[in-house]
């Protein structure tokens, strides 16, 4: 392509690397995975801060539109054209519904009853569901014994981090916590469906998806919440803006980049990394308590991450 040709929304080789051959991954690919975990681990503590004075529907719509505006501004500066064909926008719409709008409505509503640290742990079960869907239904990636062991280690670490006290305390919170677990199934489906969007620039996919999600929830927000009557605190406003830019905008960009570089199962492994980061932010920002058996849980979690991300070919060569 000549250099004088303006960039388009479809990713070129320089914009979005295709799935590398197994064993071709390097430390930069895994650095993206860690960055994604950092962006998304801040989601639930920030949401908890915002939900004190902003209702769930308005909060999700606002952070989606803020994120979309941020990304469209960057795309405009880059000179990247946004696709106008119906096919692209149908893909953006479906991806946003299953990766953000639907699950976040459930999770954000549930966070009114569940601590942020518990939400971090429950939402981090996405790799388990992705592994099951990939292994039993789509079979688009090899589900090795090592990845199965990684999933089991991650699940064990999740249980240990939640702790026996949290398990005994499900009681009145059980409906909300089960809802969070069900929402993670939608996240898992999104990582698989997202592979269909690999031909587009990750920033375009994120911008288009977020714009659609924000606009879909805007009418319900205006009708149900009547935002002009709300009195959000400065903390809630800052949390919404930060979540829109960091968790939504940058997070989705990294998500699609990781899908193209690392595949579905490995990308989902960042869910385990989100546990220690998210719990730490919950303690720092919200003052929530941490289970006494956190150290053992983190050891199991990191073992799960290692098992699910190490290229099996490298092991065979040794």
Q: Write out pLDDT tens, residues 96-129.
A: 888 778 888 888 888 888 888 878 877 777 777 7
43 inside domain: yes
6 inside domain: no
Average pLDDT score over residue span 285-309? 74
213 inside domain: yes
Structure tokens at 203: 């920033």
- Domain encompassing residue 132: 39-145+170-271
88 inside domain: yes
154 inside domain: no
> Do you know the residue count of the chain?
318
The tally of domains found in the chain comes to 1
For residue 57, list its beta bridge partners: none
47 inside domain: yes
Per the model's pLDDT, the better-predicted residue between 269 and 39 turns out to be: 39
Q: How many other C-beta atoms can be found within 10 angstroms of the C-beta atom of residue 186?
A: 20
- Among 59-68, 77-86, 192-201, 219-228, which stretch is predicted with the lowest mean pLDDT? 192-201
> What's the pLDDT band for 73 if we cut at 50, 70, 90?
very high
Structure tokens at 99: 């990766």
256 inside domain: yes
Structure tokens at 25: 């991954």
217 inside domain: yes
Each as own residue / partner, the long-range contacts of residues 31-35 (CB below 8 Å, 24 or more positions apart, any chain) are 32/254, 32/257, 32/258, 32/261, 32/262, 33/258, 33/262, 33/266, 33/267, 33/269, 33/270, 33/273, 33/309, 34/270, 34/273, 35/254
Average pLDDT score over residue span 169-198? 74
d(CA 62, CA 235): 15
Is 140 within 8 Å of 198 (Cβ atoms)?
A: no
């Amino acid at each position: 392509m000549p250099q004088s040709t303006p960039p388009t929304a479809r990713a070129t080789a320089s914009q979005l690397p295709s799935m590398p051959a197994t064993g071709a991954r390097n430390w930069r690919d895994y650095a993206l995975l860690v960055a994604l975990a950092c962006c998304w681990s801040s989601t639930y503590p920030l949401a908890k801060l915002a939900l004190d004075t902003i209702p769930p529907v308005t909060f999700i719509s606002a952070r989606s539109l803020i994120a979309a505006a941020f990304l469209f501004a960057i795309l405009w500066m880059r000179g990247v054209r946004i696709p106008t064909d119906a096919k692209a926008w149908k893909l953006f719409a479906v991806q946003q519904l299953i990766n953000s709008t639907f699950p976040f409505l459930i999770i954000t509503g549930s966070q009114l009853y569940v601590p942020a640290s518990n939400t971090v742990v429950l939402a981090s079960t996405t790799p388990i569901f992705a592994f099951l869907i990939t292994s039993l239904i789509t079979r688009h990636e090899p589900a090795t014994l090592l990845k199965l062991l990684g999933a089991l280690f991650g699940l064990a670490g999740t249980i240990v981090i939640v702790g026996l006290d949290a398990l005994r305390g499900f009681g009145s919170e059980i409906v909300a916590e089960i809802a969070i677990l069900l929402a993670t199934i939608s996240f898992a489906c999104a990582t698989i469906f997202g592979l269909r969007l690999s031909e587009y620039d990750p920033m375009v996919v994120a911008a288009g998806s977020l714009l659609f999600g924000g606009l879909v929830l805007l009418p319900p927000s205006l009708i149900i919440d009547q935002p002009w009557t709300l009195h959000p605190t400065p903390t809630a406003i800052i949390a919404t803006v930060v979540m829109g830019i960091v968790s939504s905008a940058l997070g989705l960009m990294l998500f699609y980049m990781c899908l193209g570089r690392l595949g579905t199962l490995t990308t989902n492994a960042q869910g385990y990394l989100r546990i220690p980061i998210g719990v730490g932010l919950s303690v720092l920002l919200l003052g929530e308590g941490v289970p006494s058996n956190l150290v053992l849980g983190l050891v199991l979690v990191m073992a799960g991450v290692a098992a699910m991300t190490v290229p099996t070919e490298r092991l065979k060569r040794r």
